[in-house]
A and B are shown apart, each in its own frame.
Chain A
């Protein structure tokens, strides 16, 4: 590729930021899609693969005696610190990566070259896995109050909306068009979720163009229509998710919020979620805290507080809880908007739906939820996640926050979700990876123009195929948490820092044994036992029958396969000490933690031996997702040489050498 100035640099060192052990020596490769670091140590040959699209920032630091340090920060929160011996090489790598990490057109993105060796039919089936019209049917639509509108056929009314939208039956074409002219970017009120138990609905839109006094009859009629579509309630809530001050400032620009005097029977409510710029800098601050080298508890907690991140998460959750209560307990419909209605509105609608409807807490339901409230309603993925070179002020971790809200819920309701934390982490990874076409572009319209479905693959099919990895063993369809509404306690002490996401590549900071993986292994074995039990019972019956008949039959001996027990001590417990000596000066300089190869800290790619280099370079595991190597207990199925397994060897080797 023309952008790669130097495809290979030798004698590069990969610095481990957490423990004080020696940096790994290796070779750095730049390919069209990845940055690859291969350790030279003959026994390890550990590899670290980074997709160009994951690179958030590249920082060239001042040259030192040992070389020129290069810091690569990734969007999936991986942090790579390399030291390149020659300044010139470092500069070349830097310049190349700057360009590679910021493609200028969609065609440069990985999904257009990614080929998982599926045929055309399989690909098409993959795209059909999630079907939104089925989802609206599941909600009980259309019905007497709601109908499918074709107003946005060929995106004639609103180019960031999908073509298929549900609106109240009473909303005529005239009302819709009129209302859309009174709303930012013509994003008129449309249905997001319908609660068939009591006819209450969650609708979404952008802000009204009310300025200081403007009003619009059709928009008022539109809200009336939404209210009338819910015979159980004589009012609707209008939830403006912005802080009041921001909404008021918008009035000066001819935008703003609904005046209660002009709309009959609405209850207007501000929620106060900050805008994308505040969120971007909040995440930035929190990540700086994560990057601190051996921070004190106070550094960490103070930094966490100062970042405001958990406050923002709580604000989103509070909004979701408010709407879920309005819909499920008060039976009132809610219209949600922010400014454009594609960031905060998407967050809040999807959190509320998740609280109200257990279907969204299943694997497939969750995919549907993202497809509906995020992808189809024109969340600007390409802008927000910086997939193409563009305005950095458009970038903001909007969906990351939603995923974190889901994780916070999972912590409070451990049996309520069919999927596990890994599912969320892998979705986050792929929102940035551009390996699949789902999250490309800023609207349905753009995706159609790009012919995404014909040219790329769907993430949902991939996740569904590997669903065994994403199941929550504690989920049971008949469990009390599994159906009905989740009543979330929202006191601040219930919100935790999501270590599994923001420090996911710092293996040393994660729990060393995974309860989820252990239980999944147990369940897997249980299933095998059930099968064996059935087989044994059958054979026993047969033999007893045969004996009864005094007919001697030589039974064929086919000893059942012996189950290898799941031992967590195999690999996941293997670990090496951190640098506990901290800044104790009197401690000998040769810290005990030096010199042992704690390999677990960096993502590795183990299956390079794969005969098909193309596949190995492309399959997900290689691209850096497969970090959860502590998935040890699965009935002896650990790939040999998985890094945690190796860890143990090194652990012992060091001990013996001592």
Chain B
């Protein structure tokens, strides 16, 4: 097997594992191609199985012959291994380093993983664009599914099928693609059944310094407007950033050429600014020794919650324009693969009850993140501990999940899924046995043949045994638009993610269990009462029947 040469010492005995809130465990450490395993070989003792791809960074220390490896994971967990013998320790450390930074995607675990569960429904086919389009088709007569990108030639980061206005033919789409960053011509993101208005997304227009225009582009987005109605273009960048983009060939829609559209600039950060924010936040969450003032000032300095507020505010604004103003909206930033998707997907959480169900949320992730070409492979390559700062690493998806959690906290009964579902998605985006989050877009996934060679995350999640862990017991279908508060007082640090490994969750888990018990018991009683009522009714009618003749 090809990993053998990377594993210098496959096995070390008498290794001691330290984790917060657990007693130390002594056992045998094994390295396999994809896992780090520690087993105490005793009954009732939990083993540690850690995916190498979950390892973000390692530190080593030596005190005499005893070596210590500190493993920092992408899910922010930090564990410590005490390894007797300097050579073993060095070998293990270098093996972990090599195995956790494999270059080739096809060497990743999803290509080797063989599921031990029965696949009820193949997740690769659960959310096809055609099916999603079907859901709307009754309502949208003005839209069509275009296969202009069948071969990924028009836009490499779009899926083969996209929804566009019916009046725009494929030739026009090809022209528009040359006018939009990365070929990302405006496509339908969300159709608001309540009033027929839509959210579209795209890349920035390539106006450049000399104000280039594209008639087809104007025609395309104007096709979504009702007569006499105006639309909104939400540019996720501040005006000055958008202006600067012109020097590099990018830009924004000029009022003169888009007279029916009103442009709004917001300022959602991107790239390394977000990554640095995450690094600072995780660092201060891990520092348990500091005093209150330092904690608050570090929390503030990390700016994480500022980003949350900005993203949520923009999404609310988009939802408000759509629902309250009855206007169609086009959203883009620069590439249209990051802040754009945060805004379009969060707006749907606010507006669309279906996206607050498990199935609907999965469909949203598929549609607005995976198929929409959010570059997961690049963005989630490293997490908060790694020093190799690459420009493209950025916790864009985590910020989105955090925003969803903020809304969930404000509307605890309106979501079918619970916090664990969001945490699970975060984990799998960074390290997983499933192929779902591999690759940067559909084109890459196609080339990797992920559908044939790996298992979809949804195949695993959508089985009753797993779903029960992710179902919110408080859920009551709520068909209204939900307007979250974006005031600083209403936003909180997501403890479930950032303090997860720094404190015992015992009491909160107990509370959750108790909540489930209360609701389960109620349901059981309800069922019993219904059964008895029926029985009684039957008996009583029998009585009546016997009596009547």
Contact = CB atoms under 8 A, between A and B. Distances in A.
Interface of A: 18, 290, 294-302, 304-305, 308, 310-311, 314, 412-416, 473-474, 476, 479-481, 489, 491-497, 499, 503, 506, 508-513, 515, 518-519, 522-523, 525-526, 529-530, 532-533, 536-537, 539-540, 543-544, 547, 552-555, 557, 560, 566-569, 572-578, 580-582, 584, 586-588, 592-593, 633, 648, 651, 654-655, 658
A554 B547 contact: yes
Contacts of B485: 508-510, 578
- Sorted from nearest, which 4 A-B pairs have the closest CB atoms? A300-B488, A592-B324, A414-B511, A305-B296
Nearest to B300: A301
A554 B543 CA distance: 7
Of A412, A494, A513, most B-chain CB atoms within 10 Å: A513
Contact of A493 (B488, B499, B515): B499
Contacts of A298: 300, 303, 306
A547 B539 contact: yes
A305 B317 CA distance: 30
Contacts of A572: 413
B487 A515 contact: no
Contacts of A578: 316, 483, 485-487
| B: contact size bracket | 35 or more
B292 A314 contact: yes
B412 A511 contact: yes
Interface string B494-523: 000001001110011011001100110110
A305 B510 CA distance: 32
Interface stretch (B58-66, B432-440, B451-459, B527-535): B527-535
Contacts of B514: 415, 474, 476, 479
Nearest to A298: B300
Given A526-B521, A569-B478, A299 B488 contact: yes
A633 B413 CA distance: 10
A509 B292 contact: no
B507 A523 contact: no
Nearest to A311: B292
Given A300-B488, A529-B525, A414 B508 contact: yes
B264 A290 contact: no
A473 B517 CA distance: 11
A305 to B, nearest CB: 4
Interface of B: 194, 262-266, 285, 288, 290-297, 299-300, 303, 305-306, 308-309, 313, 316-317, 319-321, 323-326, 409-414, 474, 476-480, 482-493, 499, 502-504, 507-508, 510-511, 514-515, 518-519, 521-522, 525-526, 528-529, 532-533, 535-536, 539-540, 542-543, 546-547
Given A415-B507, A493-B493, A544 B539 contact: yes
A523 B521 CA distance: 9
Contact of B529 (A492, A536, A566): A536
A526 B296 contact: no
B507 A297 contact: no
- Consensus secondary structure, chain A interface: loop
Nearest to B307: A297
A581 B486 CA distance: 11
Contacts of B499: 493-494
A536 to B, nearest CB: 4
22 contacts: A300-B488, A301-B488, A310-B296, A412-B507, A414-B507, A414-B510, A415-B511, A473-B518, A492-B290, A496-B492, A499-B489, A499-B490, A506-B489, A511-B409, A513-B413, A543-B536, A547-B539, A555-B540, A572-B413, A573-B413, A592-B325, A633-B413
Contact of A489 (B292, B324, B504): B504
Given A536-B536, A573-B480, 17 more contacts: A295-B488, A296-B309, A297-B488, A415-B510, A474-B511, A512-B411, A519-B474, A526-B525, A536-B532, A540-B536, A547-B539, A553-B543, A568-B413, A575-B483, A578-B486, A584-B317, A592-B320
